[in-house]
Structure 1
Amino acid sequence: MDEERKIMAGAVSYYEGVRDGRPWADQVEVIGPGAADAIMSGMRGWAVSASPELAEELVARGARVLRHAHVMSCDLEKVEPTEVEAPEGFRFVPCDRTPEQVLPAILAAYPPGHPDRPTDDDERIGKELAPLLEGRLIGPVLPCSLLVVDSGDTVVAGVVVNDFQGVPWISHAFRHPAETPPGTGALTLRAVQVRAARSGLAALGLAVTHANPAKRIYERLGFVVTETSMTVVV
């Protein structure tokens, strides 16, 4: 994503990127009158991420909701440093497996129709996973990241944390629902929190779709909503 904010029609500023193959105006801010008019006339076919108020105005004018999400953050100073063990029969391992080894569990965790599935294209998910795990997509993978493997050394769950512009960011939190006991995802995230706190990190961030019930798990583990945004297709 371009690191300089763009300005359009003196009405909005934004970061320009690409999302799901579309041009993307991210973190849109209103800087003048006529913001909705400017977006509807100048960004046809774009994905636009903005405040819920602006996004709902765009929807009223014909835009389609792509995602309604919350940014959440956990203060790691409040995390109890108690050691966390993987479920019986499973092991925590570093996030050093190949994309091909990790992908099946991610696809099982986020089947078509899941509110946090990144795209409807399995092939695209696979192509984006390699640069993510190699630290080329949003930033380096941090050592606090963990994968869960079963007795056959197959990856069945994990939490991937990247350095996103200086913010420790959970880019993937997943578990294979058929191959792991309930609670494995929350346990893995708890273990990552402990590792992150011990490494000196101050906080962990993530984004979760409004309709995803996992939001309740994050809240139970100390994450709080710091920002809400909506992404629409104009």
Structure 2
Amino acid sequence: MDEERKTMAGAISYREGVRDGRPWADEVEVIGPGAADAIMSEMRGWAVSAAPELAEELLARGARVVRHAHVMSCDLERVEPAEVEAPEGFRFVPCDRAPEQVLPAVLAAYPPGHPDRRTDDDDKISEELAPLLEGRLIGPVMPCSLLVVDAGDTVVAGVVVNDFRGEPWISHLFRHPVEAPPGTGTLALRAVQVRAARSGLATLGLAVTHANPAKRIYERLGFVVTETFITVVI
């Protein structure tokens, strides 16, 4: 995504990108009057991510909600440095497996209807996973990332951290609901926090959909909400 913020009609600034095949105005900020009018007239067919107040105004004018989410951040200086072990019979390994080895666990972790599944198209998820793991989608995969494998070396869970605009960002946190025991995802995230802190990183960020109960787990692990946004399609 282009790092330079763009402006439109003296009303909003935003980062331009692509989301689900649509042009995307991300991180929209109101900089002048008439923001909703400008978006509705000039951004037909766009995805727009904005603070709830502006998003609700767009929804009232006919926009369609895509995602209501919270950005969360963890202060790694507060992370307990104790070593974290994988569940018995499983191992933490580097995030260096081929996308086709990771995909089955991702699809199982986010079945259709899951609040954090962006599309019901398995092929679309598959197409996006390769560039994500290769660092071409939102930024390089960071060394603190890890996968969880079973005794047969099958990937059953993982935490993928990318360098997103210079900040460590969890792009994927997944656990196969059958092949990995409950709590594996939490252990993997704790292990990533420790690794990130030891490597000198200051923070770790993620986004979670409003309806996802995993938000409570993140809160227990020291993540706090720093921003709330709603993405709509105009």
Normalized against structure 1, the TM-score is what? 0.98
SS in structure 2 at match of 1:204: strand
Deviations 1:28-69 (A, max 9, x none): 111111111111111111100001000000011111110011
In 2, Cα distance between equivalents of 1:3 and 1:150? 39
Partner amino acid, structure 2, of 1:27 = E
* 1:100-134 per-position Cα deviation (integer Å, ceiling 9, x unaligned): 00011000001111111132221111111111111
Q: Paired residue for 2:200?
A: 200
Residue 162 (structure 1) aligns with: 162
**Whole-Å Cα distance in 1 between the matches of residues 149 and 163 of structure 2?**
24
Aligned partner of residue 127 in structure 1, secondary structure: helix
Cα displacement (A) at 1:228: 0.6
Identity across matched positions, percent: 87
Per-residue CA distance 1:2-50 (angstroms, 9 max, x = gap): 2222221221111111101111111111111111111111111110000
- Letter of the 2:176 counterpart: H
1:125 aligns to 2:125 (yes or no)? yes
Matched residues in 2 for 1:85 and 1:4: separation?
Answer: 41
State whether residues 3 and 165 of structure 2, in contact with CA within 8 Å, keep that contact through their aligned partners in structure 1.
Answer: no
Q: 1:84 and 1:76 mapped to 2: Cα distance? A: 15
Partner SS state of residue 32, structure 1: coil
One-letter code aligned to 1:76: L
SS at match of 2:191: helix
Please tell me the residue identity of whatever aligns with 2:6.
K
Rounded to whole Å, the distance in 2 between the matches of 1:99 and 1:232 is 29
Q: Which residues of 2 match residues 63-212 of structure 1 at below 5 A?
A: 63-212=63-212
Deviations, residues 194-233 of structure 1 (Å, cap 9, x unaligned): 1111111111000101111100000000000011111001
Matched, 1:38 2:38: yes
Which amino acid counterpart does residue 57 of structure 2 have in structure 1? Answer: E
2:10 aligned with 1:5: no
Large movers: runs of 4+ above 3 Å: none
Partner of 1:60: 60
User: Aligned AA for 2:74?
Assistant: C
Tell me which amino acid in the other structure corresponds to 2:160: V
1:171 to partner: Cα distance: 0.6
Unaligned segments of structure 2, at least 5 residues: none
Q: Contact conserved, 2:25 with 2:46, CA < 8 A, in 1? A: yes
Q: Distance in 1 between matches of 2:59 and 2:36?
A: 10
Whole-angstrom distance in 2 between the partners of 1:70 and 1:218: 11
In the alignment, which residue of structure 2 is the partner of 1:29? 29
Residue type matched to 2:116 in 1? D
